[in-house]
Amino acid sequence: MTEAQVTDARVRRITIALGLALLLAAVLYLAFGGPEGSSVQRGDFPAFYAAAEIVWTGQTADLYDHELQKEIQNRHWPDFAGQFYIFAYPPFFAQLLSPLAALSPLTAKAAASAILFFFLLGALVLARETSPFFRAHFLFSLLYLLTLVPVGGSIVGVQNTALSILCFALVYWAMQTERPLLTGLAASLLLYKPQFGMLLFLFLLARRRAPELLGWGIGALSLYLLGALTLGFSWPLAWLTHATEFGDMNFTINDQNMISLAGMLYWAFAQLFGNGARILPWAYLLSAVLLLLSIRYIQLREARFILAPYLILFLSPQTLFYDLGIAAFWFMRGLCPNNLRDFWVLAALWLYSAIAISHREQVSFPLFALPLVLLFWLHLRKIQVRPLPGS
């Protein structure tokens, strides 16, 4: 039975509507975005800018010094009033960010948002070669993602969703075009966010392709040496200590903003028993078991590798709501062009995200975890019923 279709003319009208919505949002943001230090304009950028300034000014030994991070952020954003955002990424990432410190904070933030936009655009260009949906509806896809809260919000707020999307897109493009060395190199780039990068490595390891593993090794070694220039050869120990400390705090602060299994279990136990931390060892154990089962499941059929990004988001120790944008991108690239049911799913995701972002604090529930599970289930059904081109 033929499924109902959306005409190209209707897709064009939807695209125009999204474009007008984006333009209106940009005008309102510029007109009413608030003072320079407001949360609307600064987003998560102060943490990245502080790390950039620490490296740029040669204070690399103190990269993870909370007092120094706080001093820099409060100097540039006085309305922090003693608060600050913690930078917990590996030192090689701070090294790559360091040129931003040559710019004023607002200029650097604008530059960072522009770079993230081009990362998203580059990911779509790469995915278009293996995705009939992106090929048929490229402009719609770009505007849809830019107006989708987890993606558009991450670009304005300078979170790293677009960079992660680009890394995943590059991995899959290299894989589909049979460039195994580049596949591994691209996968190693995701180590900037180690909880994602290491899980992706395990999925690659299960494929047992030597050139892919060689490429990953070359990329990982390069990043390690770049980190050594910043913080010495023992930097993984310093970073791990700091990241563990930050992770413990992050569960407390962001449990309702997480979409990972561990984050959801932490939230549930915090609500029920007032102590989410006691479930974490069991949550990590369950995640590890599910990871092994997932690796085996994908290993049995190569086409199932397309599910890896969803599993990485779900099984990572901590995944925040804006990384739902990765799942949205991945879901879209596997769709059939003009399928009415798929467009309804995209519309529901867009509307749900807009409502969820405005109610996440009042509801105090991991609202963005639900669409992640739904998108994974829908994509799983699609590849079980019929493998799609580029899926």
Residue 37's pLDDT band, with cuts at 50, 70 and 90, is very low
Average confidence (pLDDT) over 228-247:
92
Contact predicate 154/325, CB 8 Å: yes
> What is the average pLDDT across 262-267?
94
- Domain ranges across the chain: 40-248+255-385
Q: Is 35 exposed, middle or buried (0-12, 13-18, 19+ CB in 10 A)?
A: exposed
Of 67-81, 200-214, 305-319, 350-364, where does mean pLDDT reach its minimum? Answer: 350-364
Question: For position 40, what pLDDT does the model report?
Answer: 43
Beta partners for 320?
258
CB 99 within 8 A of CB 111: no
